[in-house]
Amino acid sequence: MTATGGSPAANAATARGSAAGAPARKSAVVVGGGLAGITGALALADAGLDVTLLEGRPRLGGLAFSFRRGELTVDNGQHVYLRCCTAYRWFLDRVEGAHLAPLQERLDVPVLDATRGRLGRLRRTALPVPLHLAASLATYPHLSLAERARVGRAALALKGLDPADPALDHQDFGSWLAAHGQSARAIEALWDLVGVATLNAVAGDASLGLAAMVFRTGLLSDPGAADIGWARVPLGDLHDGLARKALDSAGVRTELRTRVTSISPLENGRWRVEVPGERIEADTVVLAVPQAEAHDLLPEGALDDQDRLLDIDTAPILNVHVVYDRKVLKRPFFAALGTPVQWVFDRTEASGLRSGQYLAVSQSAAQDEIDAPVAALRERYLPELERLLPAAHGARVLDFFVTRERTATFAPTPGVGRLRPGAHTKAHGLYLAGAWTATGWPATMEGAVRSGISAARAALTALDRPRDHLFEEAA
């Protein structure tokens, strides 16, 4: 069966418009229903295109989704964003979900050292950069006075770097930190505390260019840039439920459980997208799928050195989920040092749990544990949580389970920047989106949204369609 990229009603309207002498409506197919694909589809539909969104899974949201486990609604992993994530904030506004994922009024991160039993805080004031963090750094108990002074000097040096400089992409962040006087303790207690969570890599494995982008943008650009936001509802409510509602309202035809088998150009300059039982024709296609899948779907010659997409490695994230019979954590979240535990979030209310407390332990750069048996992870993490949370002593564990994303992000290794393609391909009318493309950001929700907007902008430019509605900073 062959179909155009819109609903029958929209196609009929297109035919009537053409007969009346009005410009024919253009059509687009977006392949992939993660944040990049949803954003691209909304942006194209908002510009007046007939849009079809195709997703192989039974839901939208990509790798930021929810599922049911008994009475719980569980996120596959804990996701946060920062105030500087302006494109993702635009996305939340566009799907009318900003109130469900509020930001802190001011950055405040409790940091608990399990070895020393000391609690520190990374907090900001309203003072201008870099003074907004000066008071917090001056009293940060996890570093010595000399280490704090050297951290300040390294931060100023980092602020002077240009993340877009290709030379930085080939250096690793750990070596740069060591060359700027950062001790192993400073890297653990500050630089990796932030960097592992945002880059999904320890400093020694991360591109200096991407690390500079993270720290310059998040901590050294605006006093409020690093204020943290997270969903107070299941991620599926935002990235699937509200996103689907927004797509429907925009007139997007959304097809789930629909896997694309091929994409090919037609002689008339249009594109044919094949799925089981249907061939869809469109004026433009946005391919918003992971890099290996994009490699397999791209027509030959669509990119120079197309095989380089296969050289973009992936990195895993592990999440450990624990349900206690009582409240063991008073704070909404904390970060930890001197323990395998990285970040712990209270997901009780968001999950729908009626009694007890549900904690999610988010473990980035989890290459050593991603395939560990659940029993081994239980034996490792429950004692660590008791060490961090005295109230957990004697508490009964009602449930313990693990979620694993083995290809959660692209690996931000030195040299990855030269492998990441932009939105344009060499094939007219075919565009790429995904956090792994050349957004300038690491693999975050922000990067995914920016990539969707960039792909839509490129497509609309080629089609000579209005782009004024698009988020400007994501260009």
Beta bridge partners, 409, equal 315
Please tell me the distance from the alpha carbon of residue 389 to that of residue 382, in angstroms, as a whole number: 10
Please tell me the distance from the alpha carbon of residue 412 to that of residue 165, in angstroms, as a whole number: 16
- Tens digit of pLDDT at every position of the chain (475 positions): 333 344 433 443 343 334 344 467 899 999 999 999 999 999 999 999 999 999 999 999 999 999 999 999 999 999 999 999 999 999 999 999 999 999 999 999 999 999 999 999 999 999 999 999 999 999 999 999 999 999 999 999 999 999 999 999 999 999 999 999 999 999 999 999 999 999 999 999 999 999 999 999 999 999 999 999 999 999 999 999 999 999 999 999 999 999 999 999 999 999 999 999 999 999 999 999 999 999 999 999 999 999 999 999 999 999 999 999 999 999 999 999 999 999 999 999 999 999 999 999 999 999 999 999 999 999 999 999 999 999 999 999 999 999 999 999 999 999 999 999 999 999 999 999 999 999 999 999 999 999 999 999 999 999 998 777 776 654 4
pLDDT given at position 19:
39
**In the chain, pLDDT over 70 holds for what percent of residues?**
94
Residues 239 and 64: beta-carbon distance below 8 Å: yes
- Half-sphere exposure (CA, 13 Å, Cβ side) for 414? 14
The per-type count for the chain, helices as H runs and strands as E runs, is: 16, 20
Q: What is the DSSP letter of 303?
A: S
Cis peptide before 163 (omega within 30 of 0): no
What Å distances lie between residue 105 and 78, 126, 228, CA to CA? Answer: 20, 11, 9
* 436: exposed, middle or buried (Cβ count in 10 Å: 0-12, 13-18, 19+): buried
Whose structure tokens read 């930021």?
A: 64
Give pLDDT tens digits for 109-166: 999 999 999 999 999 999 999 999 999 999 999 999 999 999 999 999 999 999 999 9
pLDDT given at position 455:
98
pLDDT given at position 9:
36
Please tell me the distance from the alpha carbon of residue 332 to that of residue 361, in angstroms, as a whole number: 12
User: How would DSSP label each residue in 272-337?
Assistant: EEEETTEEEEESEEEE-S-HHHHHHHSPTTSSTTGGGGGGS-EEEEEEEEEEESS----SSEEEEE
pLDDT given at position 23:
60
Please tell me the distance from the alpha carbon of residue 380 to that of residue 362, in angstroms, as a whole number: 14
User: How would DSSP label each residue in 225-261?
Assistant: TT-EEE-SS-HHIIIIIIHHHHHHHTT-EEESS----
Beta bridge partners, 343, equal 335, 362
- Three-state DSSP at 152 gives helix
